[in-house]
Amino acid sequence: MRTTEQQLVLVNVSTKWWTIVRPYVAIARPDHWVKNVFVLPGIVVALSFDRSILATPWVVSLLAVSLVASSNYVLNEILDAPFDVRHPIKCLRPIPSGQVSIPIAYIEWIVLMLAGIALGLTISHWFTFTLAALWIMGCVYNVPPLRTKDVPYLDVLTEAINNPLRMLAGWFLTRTAAAPPLSLLISYWMVGCYFMAIKRFAELQDINDRDRSAAYRKSFAFYTPERLLTSVIFYGCCAMLFFGTFLMRYRLELVLSFPMIAIVMAVYLSMAFKRDGAAQNPEKLYKEPLLMASVMACTVVMTVLLFVDVPLLYRAFTPTLMHH
């Protein structure tokens, strides 16, 4: 009997403990760690440039990036709480609903950053500098008086810069001596802007109330569906322009991947018109079978093209004189 009672006590204690801790885990958004898949292209491209290098332990590196990203998420949750209470769904988050102590949340913000930086130091200084930049951009995006999150267009540009920073993290964890191509980093940045602008469009469409949307996100006082879709086209064009610049100089074979990239971008755009869809909730992207299939196919094609030479392409794209 005592054993049964002791087991019940332990269950009750563990349940109560998890009830207290769970909101603090939630604001770190471990379900968003899937975004750190954007680190992997940096690793793959670095290996295609220098096939003699060996990547350092991925688990430690990805954990370091994830901890710094979670630090940014915690800060975002703290500073967005006054606005989230005006959102029909986000008002249920741990901080707006009163489940989290703000002072403890600030401690969590700093501890997660320090843990990520400490792990980064075991990889390399350049990798650690990249993590520090990722954390600083989180502050620029969230903290007044800068708080670029509230500034139209600058909100998308500063949030999406996490994309090239993640790519740099992947690049530097390989410890290659080669410098990362600037054209590829800019392309990666613009792809991130493309995704972020679509997310803004989906959020604006979902709320469908100008006053309410402006109360939730200040930049929505300026944004309209037309302005956001125009920016989506701009970011998409810039992304492909700089990707084309990269492949023409470094890896012409990647031109064969353009149709697959276009399919991924088209499928993602189509999701912006779904109410409460994955476009505005990136952690749900894995539930979109068509998107996942196109992303996987595109990833396989691009990875193969990074390592397999196609000499015929170089002859086809080399200017020649016509014989009369």
Residue 53 falls within a domain, yes or no? yes
48 and 161, same domain (yes or no): yes
Average pLDDT over residues 121-129: 93
Q: What is the pLDDT of residue 177?
A: 82
194 and 104, same domain (yes or no): no
Percent of the chain at pLDDT above 70? 90
Q: What is the pLDDT of residue 37?
A: 84
Residue 13 falls within a domain, yes or no? no
**What is the residue range of 31's domain?**
26-179
The residue from 179, 194, 216 where one domain ends is: 179
Q: What is the pLDDT of residue 91?
A: 76
Domain count, the chain: 2
Q: What is the pLDDT of residue 268?
A: 93
111 and 196, same domain (yes or no): no
The residue from 179, 204, 220 where one domain ends is: 179
Greater pLDDT, 178 or 319: 178
DSSP 89-139: TGGGSTTTTT-S-HHHHHHHHHHHHHHHHHHHHTT-HHHHHHHHHHHHHHH
> Does residue 14 surpass a pLDDT of 60?
no
> Does residue 1 surpass a pLDDT of 50?
no
Q: pTM for this structure?
A: 0.86
197 and 167, same domain (yes or no): no
**Range scoring the smallest mean pLDDT among 5-14, 77-86, 207-216:** 5-14
**Range scoring the smallest mean pLDDT among 38-52, 80-94, 289-303:** 80-94
Residue 324 falls within a domain, yes or no? no
pLDDT band at 190 (very low <50, low <70, confident <90, very high): very high
pLDDT band at 98 (very low <50, low <70, confident <90, very high): confident
175 and 237, same domain (yes or no): no
Highest mean pLDDT out of 15-19, 82-86, 317-321: 82-86
Question: What is the residue-averaged pLDDT of the chain?
Answer: 88
CATH number at residue 156: 1.10.357.140
The residue from 132, 160, 179 where one domain ends is: 179
